[in-house]
Amino acid sequence: MQSAVIIGASGGIGGALADAIEEEGAYDRVWRFSRANGLDLTDEASIAAAAARVAEGPAPALVVVATGILHEGQRGPEKALKDLDAEWLSRVYAVNTIGPALVAKHFVPLLPRTGTPVFAALSARVGSIGDNALGGWHGYRASKAALNMLLRNIAIEARRKYDRTIVVGLHPGTVDTGLSKPFQGNVAPGKLFAPDRAAVQLLDVIDGLKPHDSGKVFAWDGAEVPF
């Protein structure tokens, strides 16, 4: 018996992922965690409590951190250096980088040492240093780049304990959710995905992963995103 765990299940992508996984029926249980039901990425104790519940079984063969922050209230992605603010940078890093890392701390040890268990976190193409030709969005870009590095580190450590464990970042593309809503006007036709379509695309990518893919970042179409 195996379970799947979705962190951020109250969000557009997270909810769609949980729904799609349940519909496919490949897992005996689908855990849905979010701030609304007690798991706050900025509160490690709540993450540990959720992991303790999952540890009771069945073992989680898939854990997806489907969370992220780009704007909140009057705050949004910085367009220039003059817009940098320490408090906002800390908030963005807390949610986009530190939170997923703490989820890995408590959930990766629960992955079974059979099959090819997967730990994935939503990253973003704009977090790629090599692909950055436009600049701006300082905090969001940097927090996702930092997440990518942490995922690479986590992949290396996880491989030492069980060499078929897969740890990856996933770029879902631009999805029609609250996170992208203020910026959808610049999206090319056909490139704004409904959450249910995005979920199926991401699950297709996950299904195609092999152990040698661990430590990398992949886009919604299966293409590797450079660091």
pLDDT tens digits for range 13-45: 999 999 999 999 999 999 999 999 999 999 999
Return all residues near 147 (Cβ < 8 A) that are at least 6 apart: 96, 97, 100, 101, 121, 123, 127, 169
Q: Which residue in 109, 72, 119, 114 sits closest to 94, CA to CA?
A: 72
Could you tell me if 99 and 48 are in contact, meaning their C-beta atoms sit under 8 angstroms apart? no
Judged against a pLDDT cut of 90, whether residue 154 lies above it is answered with yes
**Structural domain containing residue 184:** 2-219
- Give the global pTM: 0.94
Judged against a pLDDT cut of 70, whether residue 187 lies above it is answered with no
Residue 90 domain-assigned (yes or no): yes
Total domain count for the chain?
A: 1
Mean pLDDT of the chain: 95
Distance CA 113, CA 165 (A): 8
CA contacts within 13 A on the Cβ side of 162? 17
Residue 92 domain-assigned (yes or no): yes
pLDDT tens digits for range 73-95: 999 999 999 999 999 999 999 99
Position 174 scores a pLDDT of 86
Distance CA 215, CA 82 (A): 34
Indicate the pLDDT class of residue 177, thresholds 50, 70 and 90.
confident
Residue 225 domain-assigned (yes or no): no
Position 189 scores a pLDDT of 66
Indicate the pLDDT class of residue 53, thresholds 50, 70 and 90.
very high
Residue 173's CATH number? 3.40.50.720
Starting at the earlier edge strand, list the strands of the sheet with 59-65.
29-33, 2-7, 59-65, 118-122, 166-171, 217-219
Residue 227 domain-assigned (yes or no): no
